[in-house]
Structure 1
């Protein structure tokens, strides 16, 4: 195997994995938009982590009760800073997937996560990365 083939193979693996990640995220958001159930949850806390660039990321953790009485504690997507005026104990809207209740979106804290253009952007990114992966493989091998 030549250096060019190794490099092309590496690029193809990276773009292929990104393609799959974007596709699954688009599917998750699309399913939440189509069959998601909206309810009220309590903001339990913000879990913080340090990103690779050294900045803090805040993950909202919410608790809510399903119609059958089961209590769920789930974590939303990370943001660079909590929304202004938001604090632990606040009530917030949550949209969850009835098939996987821990799969949530918080429209009141993180607006736009279920909008059609967000989902379309993930789909376009997945398709573009798929074509890029294919092209790299064709040119390399």
Structure 2
């Protein structure tokens, strides 16, 4: 492994890919390996609506879970809404999304088509991720009230 910053971050299993603009994050979008473009586009949508949004790249969740608690807390702060983004089953993402979070994934087995077509047919798009993030924020405010 080379000693570049990117390699060091990847070795941790997960890292901040894009920080929230305008202050601490209101929501954290956790992107599985390969789903970063969907999460980054959702971040653009949310930021344009005034929602401070962080994107975390999470290529190796098990490795991330073995990192020191301080690092995990810095990347995925407690009390911040979370939405995980993964084209596979969302089953394994509940732990990282947290109790108040939501996984966005493909619900269905045996689906076959070019990925662009598949994403459109099952609504696996940045707009869906952004909508889930807004819903998490609303639900979080309702719980706090």
Query: Is TM-score (shorter-chain normalized) higher than 0.5?
Result: no
What is the TM-score when the length of structure 1 is the normalising length? 0.27
Larger RCO: 1 or 2 (CA < 8 Å, sep 6+): 1
Larger Rg: 1
Greater share of residues in strand: 1
